[in-house]
């Protein structure tokens, strides 16, 4: 049965259930949509403007809860969406409303923008009984449309695989728009876009810094939350996905097409830089039970979302964003898996960082490292080969799961973040914790056979203070977010060193400068995988805002006119050192100090003595030294002798200067200073002693050959 508008008719046949979504073939387009509880599904076709609905096709064929049809003669570029009929019974979890235009969960591109009008809600927003009411306004005029794509563009854009070991990676977390929006040498039409991120000025900057991998904040199609729109703000970070296979439309340049993303990946790969996507599968942009109806809610609310067992009107909210995506349902899990494979096989990415990943592993009885999602992804022949990183927490029951993910995953290590911040702030009793985190956090990751690369180490991330603000502000300053400074983390383990915010005090600024370098040095020298927040290497500030998720403006953008090039060069030097010395990326955890002359790690106090239990128990200790050793990567001198390198890092987090004695060890005598953060060049006296000023560090290097 076919209903037509304006005389537009295409022949419809039954089609086939797989693959889901809109699939172009030689004869037309196959459309396939999952809904377990729908009574009727209507495919809606629009003109090229997306404003006029020109045809409706009732999808009469259903195979195992998948509705499908084929339109002969349909071509790439066709704009479409759905209207889904079924019961409107919120108390039972059903919210079907055929007056609402719905986006295809498998849409590869969205055209147009959402307009926040009462019609986008499935209920009458002015009704006293709220979502128990039923709204009959047509939402199509206020919704973007899905576009049929021809994925054969892949063949025209080759991508050379890099396969960089995660253990050897330098991750750079950044934002597509924020990093490129203000660059003066990127043409205006490409600023804030995928094309801009692949432009030569950006490539040059990343290569000169030494970055091997960029981790992009969400690029899936996302919408702003209604409460932000009411305040005149937007969801800048993009953690509000609605289209898991469509690149966010605003990140496509004026002359760009869907291939722009793959061209970006191809260009970055040619420059030796991999791409990881931050993906949000834990919730969607539809919010709680009072949220709008964009897609999943109207297609099959009871299947796509986790609902309270005894009050199915309400969503389970383990995410803090109003709803929780139901990966316990096999079709929902299939959608997520299909999305991940699409971004690898079609778009060319190298891995994923999973936002609030505890949600993805939560079964009905709680978090399970053997959940359906983890089992599916680790056995998948495509996805088991890419980089997988978990944010190991959410706000649900048992949500904090650092160290409890499957062996294929690495994890954001917030314990590393907090330990480094507190230790360099000068907090007491932090030396043992600092040493564990510097060592790679074996206490969290070794139990199931993982190595130091399981720990993604970071000092700052998009969520919180930038590095500059971490040493410039004691308190958050989030008034621009419109929540009376109540949002964002209250405890940041930060310090302003005497004056809140920017100041002209020479001594305070000198301390801040040293602290930035101290923290960056520890990040790049620690065992594990370093992740650098874009802008930390150049002293970018968010003006004390530690929750700039809604600041799509200079607060959240990279300022290319205000760059601390001395810090950029210092960071590049650190990255060069990390790449030069294999002992900074040991494959396994080191537990035997006696193996120091092979491949080892050992701790010393400032008197040059090996740290023992008594030393570690000294609550006020704020000085440490650590020696790391490893065989020379280029050594090949047979069995007679072994050539080894050693690094000695000496740390003083105290407010006072202290004298350090270099450890007296056989074969390790002639130390050369590679790097330091104090104001004057270090000098080692005849007794092998050196003075470290307050809040500073030094890094020494030696090579030695030990005969058997």
Catalytic residue ranges: 355, 391
Residue 707's DSSP bridge partners are 641
Angle at 435 between CA 432 and CA 437, to 5 degrees: 110
Cα→Cα distances 326→416, 475, 546, 591, Å: 31, 37, 30, 42
Q: Is 15 exposed, middle or buried (0-12, 13-18, 19+ CB in 10 A)?
A: buried
Query: Which residue from 94, 41, 97 is spatially nearest to 65, judged by alpha carbons?
Result: 41
Q: Is the dihedral of CA 657, 659, 665, 668 positive or negative?
A: positive
Q: What is the CA radius of gyration of the chain?
A: 28
3-state secondary structure of 450: coil
- DSSP 8-state code for residue 125: T
Q: Which helix (H) or strand (E) holds 183?
A: none
Enter the tokens of residue 326: 């139901």
Residue 648's CB is within 10 A of a number of other CB atoms, namely 24
Query: Which residue from 557, 531, 369, 376 is spatially nearest to 461, judged by alpha carbons?
Result: 531
Query: Which residue from 353, 347, 386 is spatially nearest to 172, judged by alpha carbons?
Result: 353
Enter the tokens of residue 182: 């203000």
Enter the tokens of residue 306: 């986790």
3-state secondary structure of 507: helix
Cα 202 to Cα 190: distance, rounded to the nearest angstrom: 12
Cα→Cα distances 524→50, 104, 530, 571, 578, Å: 50, 43, 6, 9, 6
Q: What's the start-to-end Cα distance of the chain, in Å?
A: 86
Q: Is the dihedral of CA 402, 407, 411, 414 positive or negative?
A: positive
């Amino acid at each position: 049965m076919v209903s037509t508008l304006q005389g537009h008719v295409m022949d419809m046949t039954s089609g086939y259930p797989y693959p889901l979504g809109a699939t172009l073939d030689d004869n037309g387009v196959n459309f396939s949509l999952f809904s377990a509880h729908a009574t009727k599904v209507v495919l809606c076709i629009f003109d090229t403007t997306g404003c006029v609905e020109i045809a409706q096709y009732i999808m009469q064929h259903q195979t195992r809860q998948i509705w499908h049809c084929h339109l002969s003669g349909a071509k790439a570029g066709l704009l479409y969406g759905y209207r889904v009929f079924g019961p409107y019974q919120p108390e039972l979890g059903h919210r079907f409303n055929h007056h609402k235009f719905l986006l295809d969960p498998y849409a590869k591109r969205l055209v147009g923008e959402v307009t926040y009008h009462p019609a986008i809600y499935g209920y009458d927003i002015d009704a006293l009984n709220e979502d128990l009411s039923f709204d009959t306004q047509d939402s199509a005029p206020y919704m973007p449309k899905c576009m049929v794509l021809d994925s054969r563009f892949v063949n025209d854009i080759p991508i050379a695989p890099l396969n960089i070991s995660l253990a050897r990676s330098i991750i750079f977390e950044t934002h597509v728009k924020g990093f490129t929006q203000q660059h003066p040498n990127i043409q205006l039409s490409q600023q804030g876009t995928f094309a801009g991120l692949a432009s030569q000025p950006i490539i040059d900057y990343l290569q000169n810094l030494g970055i091997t991998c960029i981790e992009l904040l969400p690029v899936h199609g996302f919408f702003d939350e209604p409460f932000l729109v009411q305040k005149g703000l937007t969801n800048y970070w993009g953690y509000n996905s609605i289209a898991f296979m469509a690149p966010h439309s605003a990140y496509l340049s004026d002359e760009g097409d869907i291939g722009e993303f793959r061209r970006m990946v191809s260009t970055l790969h040619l420059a030796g830089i991999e791409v990881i996507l931050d993906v949000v599968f834990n919730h969607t942009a539809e919010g709680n039970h009072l949220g709008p109806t964009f897609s999943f809610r109207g297609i099959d609310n009871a299947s796509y979302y986790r609902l309270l067992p005894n009050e199915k009107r309400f969503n389970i909210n383990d995410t803090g964003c109003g709803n929780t995506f139901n990966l316990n349902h096999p079709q929902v899990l299939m959608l997520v898996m299909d999305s991940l494979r699409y971004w690898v096989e079609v778009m060319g990415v190298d891995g994923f960082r999973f936002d609030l990943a505890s949600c993805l592993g939560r079964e009905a009885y709680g978090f399970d490292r053997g959940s359906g999602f983890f089992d599916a992804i680790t056995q998948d022949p495509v996805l088991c080969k890419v980089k997988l990183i978990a944010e190991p927490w959410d706000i649900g029951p048992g949500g904090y799961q650092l160290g409890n993910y499957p062996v294929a995953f690495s994890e954001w290590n917030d314990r590393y973040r907090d330990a480094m911040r507190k230790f360099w702030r000068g907090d007491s009793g932090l030396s043992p914790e600092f040493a564990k985190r510097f060592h790679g956090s074996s206490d969290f990751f070794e139990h199931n056979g993982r190595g130091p690369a399981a720990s993604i180490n970071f000092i700052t991330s998009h969520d919180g203070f930038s590095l500059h603000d971490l040493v410039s502000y004691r308190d958050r300053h989030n008034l621009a977010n419109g929540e009376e400074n109540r949002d964002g983390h209250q405890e940041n383990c930060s310090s302003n060193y005497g004056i809140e915010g920017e100041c002209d005090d020479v001594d305070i600024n000198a301390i801040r400068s040293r602290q930035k370098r101290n923290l960056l040095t520890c990040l790049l020298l620690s065992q594990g995988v370093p992740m650098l927040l874009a802008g930390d290497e150049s002293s970018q500030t968010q003006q004390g805002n530690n929750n700039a998720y809604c600041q799509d403006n200079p607060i959240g953008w990279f300022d290319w006119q205000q760059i601390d090039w001395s810090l950029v060069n210092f960071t590049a030097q650190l990255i060069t050192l990390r790449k030069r010395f294999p002992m900074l990326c040991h494959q396994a955890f080191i537990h035997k100090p006696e193996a120091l002359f092979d491949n080892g790690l050992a701790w010393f106090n400032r008197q040059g003595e090996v740290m023992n239990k008594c030393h570690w128990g000294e609550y006020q200790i704020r000085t440490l030294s650590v020696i790391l050793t490893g065989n020379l990567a280029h050594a090949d001198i047979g069995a007679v002798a072994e050539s080894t390198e050693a690094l000695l890092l000496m740390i003083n987090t105290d407010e006072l200067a202290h004298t350090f004695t270099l450890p007296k060890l056989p074969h390790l005598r002639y130390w050369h200073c590679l790097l330091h953060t104090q104001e004057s060049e270090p000098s080692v006296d005849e007794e092998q002693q050196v003075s470290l000023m307050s809040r500073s560090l030094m890094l020494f290097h030696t090579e030695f050959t030990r005969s058997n």
